[in-house]
Structure 1
Amino acid sequence: MNHDSLLYPLRHSDNPDDGSLWNWAQNARLAQHFQVKTPQSEAEVQQLLRQHSGSVRLVGSRLSPGRMLNVAEDDLLLDLSALQGILHHDAESITVAAGTRLEDLFDHLTRMDRMLGCSPGVIAVQTLAGAIATGTHGQGMQQSSLADEALAIRMVLADGSIREFHRGDPEFAAVQVSLGTLGVVTAITLRTVPFRIFTCEKHAVPAATLEQDLLRWNQTYEFSKAWWFVDDDVLHVWNINPASASLREQYYAQGRAVIEHADEGDTRLNRTIDQTLAHMHRDTQVEGKGGKQFRTVTRFRDFTDVTGDVYQLLCRGIAVPQINVEIGVPLDRTPAIIRKIKRWYAENRPHMHYPIILRCTGPSAAWLSPASDRATCFFGFVVYYADDGSLSQEGLHFLTEVEKLLAAEGGRPHWGKYYDPTRYQWREVYPHWDDFRALRASLDPARRFSNHYVNTLFD
């Protein structure tokens, strides 16, 4: 089978020297280098917007699919990576430049004995503005996306003027997750809370009762995340709650290093891990056992409970070029959806390239968050690139078929990942879709913060 190259583009692993800037995965050309501008300040952003009359798109870490980022030959691509650092902080908030990497923000908060009120995403090399604009989220029913921790968002508008949107403003829910279509975000103020230590309990359990277990775990624990190895009908589960007083004392006594609770790890998942690695080696045509993509699975071998801060425990993602599809569905429909996936798998026995990743969050206030106004379960799917830049066609077939199922159940895709836009009736799944479009028309009547994909999406 030959899947649509626009949905799942092949990767140019040789990095051709053609004067182009590529996205991080090197599967999409974004612009010619002369079109890329890297403003060093907010004032330079204003100047660029006033000098240039064409369209403008924005990049941070370039992790999103190319269709969201690329520009036409007469347009500009603004690289905001120079807008970095902590601009201000007080007892309950921190103001951060838009291009600051999440890992730098988390390190700074830790030194202040503060943290964000939300669970972090797994990839900490994202820029703050990019992570917020695409609805990046972690897990846990008591919180939602990173955007929901924002108290204020400062933005340069299409005419070069500056406006600051505050929580409580009628437009704030649109600005929180905006896909870079309303203006250039230059600074974000985030709510902070006291620093806490957590214990992560890790389990290998059968998936026979996943429908009930997933809801129970998310009701019982502050954070819960599961990897569903469908071939073996088994799950690897991380359930996280605040650490005990004695473990907190031990954590600080050993210099804030992660505590491993056992000298010898649990081996119950090892056979499944070996089987998954064999599939991945076959799909990616990689010799030996090296490669970052294999570390994403081998870390589950000989697992043990651990204690640490939320960033040490959950920012464990390994950035490897991949096709990553993630669809959020209503939490109350999740048990029925799991049953449907089980039936579909039993009937079709598809090739499983990687386990299904399950994370749940509370509702988001942002109009375009995939968790907008509803508790949500996110189903994540990954296919890694082979060394020659190709993709497992069987793995892509699985992504395609399951996305069909989830879209039919009211699913909403993660904006910063891959999805088939023809599967979704946006007005039906996003009640505030037309409200967002109206604000976009008001703030950017000339559609300056657009490209072909964005215009197709909204217009």
Structure 2
Amino acid sequence: MTGTNWAGNLTYHATALHQPGSIEELSALVAAAPSARALGSRHSFNAIADTTGVQISVAGLPPVVEVDAAAREVTVSAGLRYGELVEELDQAGWALHNLASLPHISVAGAIATGTHGSGDRNGSLASSVAGLELVTADGTVRSVRRGDPDFDGMVVSLGLLGVVTKVTLDIIPTFQIRQDLYEGVPWESIETDLDAITGSAYSVSLFTDWGAGGAGQAWVKSRADAAPREEFFGARPAARQLHPLPGEQADVATTQLGAAGPWWDRLPHFRLGFTPSNGEELQTEYLVPREHALEAIRAVRALAPRVQPHLLISEIRTIAADALWLSPSHSVGCLAIHFTWRMHVPEVTALLPVIDAALAPCAARPHWGKVFETAPQRLLEAYPRIPDLRALADRLDPEQTFANRLTSHWLSR
């Protein structure tokens, strides 16, 4: 056994965990392995990183942060966590356009599963990928760039095409963000002004327990020169620093109350030096096209009596469209509905098909790194480029070295 995932709900079945120190060692290891999976920061809540063969971490490869100012790109080692990259990038005068809720996740792992931040005009983390270096099943080191054939299928790849070693990301000039929190956004405002709410700032997150009170918190992240608001669609400004989860200490969260700060210390919800969120939890997330946003919110509200006993909090946010085949926001801007569950594994597991059925009419796409129960046929309807990824994987990995039980089920013919 090689340990558990971050949440502790999974014990991996791998026979060994390898952490090669060089590309040559990694290539030899991959070429000799009948079955292998890349392992990132262990933050996936399902078995996407599991295998009956060997797990491979690239965290031991030499760290790389190479800025190309002329191209507006940075090339980084795939095993770096975002929190280990952002300050160095900022000191060089550059930024990433978006970050996830927590900086603890690895660059390659976040990209491979379609992980995202928030903002009507902000694409997922994977949308900023301009190039990849990876080791394919025969041990070959391969580099691809945006615009190359099949590139759009190689970014959000579920780890099926090889072990990513370097990632080249688009960068923008560094900037400052202020974070204002508001309490008590009523459902009436969400029903009538959802587009105005999500479009009111660089990034907006609504936190709710699906009760009658609406969204208990709105996290509004604006460029530093934006004027503060006295009210927010019927909500009142928070008078103290808050944590998204009830009863948790707010000092683990990024700075609020309108204090401007660097992009990397405001766009995430949580700080690198602390356990993010609750720690002992499960997570589920669905992304729905914006045209179905209110329909999806209403569908989950109708399930509130069944959801609330097992829920810590839900987050509602938005993501811009991208061109990546298996991205949850492929070809369409989306509203994301995220569930942070209590560690009620049997009860949550029983709820998953209920939630999937409720959101299926909204063309909902599940997040690949969370727990969900979606039949392969419905996955194919939600992700119509699955056959293209399957064909690409057949070409690059004909022996299915990087497949596992879960990915084979998701992509089954």
Partner of 1:334 in structure 2? 293
Cα distance in 1 for partners of 2:2, 2:307 equals 41
**CA separation of 1:423 and 1:331: change in aligned 2, threshold 3 A:** farther
Q: Deviations over 1:95-143 (max 9, x none)?
A: 10111111011121111121012x2001211111101101110001212
Q: 1:343 to 1:106 in 2, by over 3 A?
A: same
User: Residue 164 of structure 2 corresponds to which residue in structure 1?
Assistant: 185
1:93 aligned to 2:73? yes
User: What is the CA-CA distance between 1:71 and the residue it aligns to?
Assistant: 1.6
Aligned with 1:446 (options 381, 384, 399): 399
Higher mean C-alpha deviation, range 165-174 or range 205-214: 205-214
Q: Offset of 1:382 from its aligned partner?
A: 1.1
Distance in structure 1 (CA, Å) of the matches to 2:125 and 2:157: 13
Where does 1:125-204 land on structure 2 (aligned, <5 Å)? Answer: 125-204=104-183
Aligned to 2:218: 237
Q: Given that residues 209 and 311 in structure 2 are in contact (C-alpha distance below 8 angstroms), is that contact kept between their aligned partners in structure 1?
A: no
- 1:30 maps to 12
The one-letter code of the counterpart of 2:286 is I
1:51 to 32, 37, 44: 32
| Count of matched residue positions in the alignment of Structure 1 and Structure 2 | 394
Q: 1:230 touches 1:352 (CA, 8 Å); kept in 2?
A: no
**Amino acid in the other structure paired with 1:371:** S
Given the superposition, is the C-alpha separation of residues 106 and 195 from structure 1 closer, same or farther in structure 2, using an over 3 Å criterion?
A: same
Q: 2:411 corresponds to which residue? A: 458
Following superposition, the deviation at residue 175 of structure 1 comes to 0.8
AA in 1 matched with 2:330: S
Q: Do the aligned residues in 2 keep the contact of 1:383 with 1:396 (CA within 8 Å)?
A: no
Describe how 1:344-423 pairs up with structure 2 within 5 A: 344-345=303-304, 350-351=308-309, 353-385=311-343, 391=345, 393=347, 401-422=354-375
1:397/1:444 Cα in 2 relative to 1: closer, same or farther (>3 Å)? Answer: closer
Q: Read off the aligned partner of 2:56 and give its amino acid letter.
A: L
Determine if the alignment matches structure 1 residue 226 to structure 2 residue 206.
yes
- Matched position secondary structure for 2:222: strand
Check the 8 A contact 1:328/1:413 in 2, yes or no.
yes
Alpha-carbon distance in structure 1 between the residues aligned to 2:167 and 2:307 = 46
Q: CA deviation at 1:229?
A: 3.4
Unaligned runs of 5+ in 2: 229-236, 271-275
Aligned amino acid, residue 266 of structure 1: A
Task: Quickly say closer, same or farther: Cα 1:212–1:361, change in 2 above 3 A.
Answer: farther
What residue is the counterpart of 1:266 in the other structure? Answer: 238
Give the 4+ runs in structure 1 shifted more than 6 A: 296-300
Structure 1 unmatched ranges of 5 or more: 1-18, 248-264, 278-288
Q: Is the 8 A contact 1:381 1:399 kept in 2?
A: no
Q: Is 1:431 aligned to 2:389, yes or no? A: no
**More displaced, 98-107 or 236-245?**
236-245
C-alpha distance in 1 between matches for 2:132 and 2:293: 33
Q: Deviations 1:12-31 (Å, cap 9, x if unpaired)?
A: xxxxxxx5422222222214
TM superposition shift of 1:409: 1.8
Matched residue type, 1:35: A
AA aligned to 2:124 is S
- Which residue number in structure 1 is paired with residue 233 of structure 2? none
Q: Which has the larger radius of gyration?
A: 1
Preserved CA contact (<8 Å) 1:38 1:79: yes
Distance in 2, matches of 1:349 and 1:103, equals 32
RMSD (CA atoms): 2.9
Task: Return the alpha-carbon distance in structure 2 between the equivalents of residues 434 and 427 of structure 1.
Answer: 8
What aligned pairs does 1:305-316 form with structure 2 within 5 A after superposition?
305-316=258-269
Q: Which residue, 58, 69, 77 being the options, matches 1:80?
A: 58
AA in 2 matched with 1:370:
P
> Match of 2:273?
none
Name the structure 2 match of 1:216. Answer: 196
Q: 1:315 to 1:444 in 2, by over 3 A?
A: same
**Alignment-mate amino acid for residue 214 of structure 2:** V
Contact 2:288 2:335 in 1 (8 A): yes
Using a 3 Å threshold, how does the CA distance of structure 1 residues 84 and 135 change in structure 2: closer, same or farther? Answer: farther
- SS state at 1:314 partner: coil
Are the aligned partners of 1:328 and 1:378 in contact in 2 as well (CA < 8 Å)?
Answer: yes
Q: CA deviation at 1:422?
A: 2.5
Residue deviations 1:271-291 (CA, integer Å, cap 9, x gap)? x99xx74xxxxxxxxxxx7xx
Deviation of residue 423 (structure 1)?
A: 7.5
CA distance in 2, matches of 1:97, 1:174: 20
- Mean alpha-carbon deviation: is it higher for 76-85 or for 184-193? 76-85
Alignment identity in percent? 27
Deviations along 1:42-70, one digit per CA (max 9) or x if unpaired, are 11111112233x11111011111352122
Q: Which amino acid aligns with 1:338?
A: I
Distance (Å, rounded) in 1 between the aligned partners of 2:376 and 2:221: 35
The letter of the residue matching 1:356 is: S
Partners in 2 of 1:239 and 1:229 — Cα distance? Answer: 18
Shift of 1:383: 1.4
- Alpha-carbon deviation of 1:357? 0.4
